[in-house]
Amino acid sequence: MIGLKNDSFFMKEAIRQAEKAFSLNEVPVGAVVVHRNKIIARAHNQVELLRDPTAHAEMLVLTQACNFLNSKWLLDCVIYVTIECCSMCAGALVLSRLKKIIYGADDPKAGACGSIINIAKNKKLNHRIEIKKGVLEQECSLLMEEFFLKKRKEVKKFSRKKKRMLIDKTKISRPS
Ligand SMILES: [Zn+2]
């Protein structure tokens, strides 16, 4: 199929979004929505910036895509997202009647496309979404690993600094 872009092409765009999140100190998850082989929406996680626990990349990209199509449904759309969707996002995508979810890496702690639960393919719900996983998996999970490593280092550094401050204080308050 000449001219049709492949899954890695679109996942790279989602990764670019995740990298943006990383640089803004947000958990690095990125997503794009593709309609007829064209990207119609892009977003990254903005939970910290918006102080909103629902501001996941998938939620933001879903709203953008609906606005673009001027439709409450994303019937012929595919979402490319770097990390497996959580239960909130998978639920929202089911409501949007999206056709397919393509994601990079599993989220063993919160993934709702098969890891801890499968909302996207739940037979009791009125819509099921096709799932494909493992597209550029390593790149996607590496970003997450790097991010949480950086966070842990920051916490360590902070607690060391705090300790030092406490020691300094006790030195000062001690009579000579
Ligand atoms: Zn989510």
Q: In percent, how much of the chain has pLDDT > 70? A: 94
Give yes or no for residue 172 having a pLDDT over 70: no
Give yes or no for residue 156 having a pLDDT over 90: no
- State the pLDDT at residue 174: 59
Query: What's the whole-number mean pLDDT along residues 52-81?
Result: 98
- State the pLDDT at residue 5: 86
104 Cα–ligand 1 center, Å: 14
Query: What's the whole-number mean pLDDT along residues 22-40?
Result: 97
Give yes or no for residue 168 having a pLDDT over 90: no
126 Cα–ligand 1 center, Å: 20
Question: pLDDT, tens digit, for every residue of 98-151?
Answer: 999 999 999 999 999 999 999 999 999 999 999 999 999 999 999 999 999 999
Catalytic residues: 58
Average pLDDT over all residues of the chain: 93
Give yes or no for residue 175 having a pLDDT over 70: no
End-to-end CA distance of the chain: 83
Contacts of 35 (CB under 8 A, 6+ apart): 65, 68, 69, 74, 76, 77, 78
Distances (CA, A) of 160 to 20, 24, 155, 167: 29, 24, 9, 11
Query: How sure is the predictor about 167, in pLDDT bands with cuts at 50, 70 and 90?
Result: confident
4 Cα–ligand 1 center, Å: 28
